[in-house]
Amino acid sequence: MDFFLQNVINALQWGSFYALIALGYSMVYSILMLFNFTHGDIFMTGTYIGFGVATGLLALTAAVSWSLPGWLLLVLTIVISMFITSFLGVVVERVGYRPLRDAPRASAAITGLMIGIMLEYGNLAVLGTRRLKFPTIIETVTYDVGGVFLTNKKILIVGVALLLMIALHQFIQKSRWGMAMRAMSYDFQVVPLMGVSLNVIAPLTFAIGSALAAAGGILYGMAYPVLDPFMGILLGWKSFVAAILGGRGSILGAALAGFLLGFIEIFTAMVFPSTFRDLIAYSIILLILTFRPYGFFGQAHSTQLRL
């Protein structure tokens, strides 16, 4: 029973990353009807930006011999990195996706993939092959709750992820910008006629999605401190699968499916030998998609490809 609960906690943590990244995919899909394959690498870049910000803040406070409490440092890191990474998202939209708005969607997907590759190898070229270690902002404190070991990091990760998701939900449901984004997701050709320009909403969507990915990246860096330029590939593609599983365009679905994917992976590793993890997790996903092709909350849009 302890073992089971321990894995539930692990799955919640692991799923938070998928959920935060999948949210970015879902938001962009609901508005622009295209998948942003650069998102995994934006997550990676956001993590490196977080590394830079955290190291900078630590050096700054050491130089001024202030000592900021760990949680404040974490909040500052997350906020500043989210801000910086949102610019990256806007640039990717402007350079990569805006010229291809009328092009077949496959071309936009390929462009996204290529920009992602450029980000990975650009990172490798600029920072070299040495793996960087994310600085420790918060000391790990382990709590023993009746046989189950919780670290404050795990609680923090799940907590911050849920907080961000609730904040996103509030933003989309209650604010005017959120209303504009929801309207755009219904019909991106007619809504601009009503005065809401796609050229404003699309960068905004990318910015929010990238900011969430950066937050996910910093949380990931806290949990697994070794950074490498290719970390975005696997997480990115798996979050893409989660976004589709939740139903394309559905934000709630993306979050839930992200957690579900985390649960599937952790529990598969719990029961089967861990080398079978990918095999069984993807077979389960394949089965789910065969029987529910549009994901959990997705609607059957027209299957016409815009080719």
- Closer CB to other proteins, residue 218 or residue 257? 257
Interface residue with other proteins among 117, 127, 183, 223 (CB under 8 A) is 117
Q: How far is the CB of 109 from other proteins (least distance, A)?
A: 6
Give dist(CA 12, CA 249) in Å, integer: 23
- Is 18 a binding residue for other proteins by CB under 8 A? The answer is no
Please report, for residues 5, 6, 15, 143, 146, the alpha-carbon distance to residue 2 in angstroms, rounded to integers and kept in the order given: 5, 6, 20, 14, 8
- Closer CB to other proteins, residue 224 or residue 237? 237
- Closer CB to other proteins, residue 175 or residue 283? 283
Residue that the structure tokens 């998202």 belong to? 89
Q: How far is the CB of 284 from other proteins (least distance, A)?
A: 9
Task: Output the DSSP codes for 128-163.
Answer: -SSPEE----S---EEEETTEEEEHHHHHHHHHHHH
Interface residue with other proteins among 28, 244, 254, 255 (CB under 8 A) is 244
3-state SS, residue 257? helix
- Is 127 a binding residue for other proteins by CB under 8 A? The answer is no
- Is 263 a binding residue for other proteins by CB under 8 A? The answer is no
Strands (E), 86-221: 132-133, 142-145, 148-151
Span of 45-53, 166-174, 196-204, 239-247 interacting with other proteins by CB under 8 A: 239-247
Give dist(CA 234, CA 243) in Å, integer: 14
- Closer CB to other proteins, residue 166 or residue 287? 287
Binding to other proteins (CB under 8 A) within 31-90 occurs at: 35
**Count of chain residues binding other proteins (CB under 8 A):** 48
- Is 96 a binding residue for other proteins by CB under 8 A? The answer is yes
Which phi and psi (to 5°) does residue 140 adopt? -75, 130
Output the six-digit token pair for 147.
């046989």
Q: How far is the CB of 202 from other proteins (least distance, A)?
A: 16
Give dist(CA 296, CA 248) in Å, integer: 9
Q: How far is the CB of 136 from other proteins (least distance, A)?
A: 30
- Is 299 a binding residue for other proteins by CB under 8 A? The answer is no
- Is 124 a binding residue for other proteins by CB under 8 A? The answer is yes
> Quick one: which H or E segment has residue 4?
helix 2-32
In 3D space, the residue among 256, 250, 258, 252 whose CA is nearest the CA of residue 301 turns out to be 250
Residue that the structure tokens 């040495």 belong to? 130
Instruction: By CB under 8 A, name the binding residues for other proteins.
Output: 35, 96, 99-100, 103-111, 113-115, 117-118, 120-122, 124-125, 233, 237, 240-241, 244-245, 248, 275-279, 282-283, 285-286, 289-290, 293-295, 303-305, 307
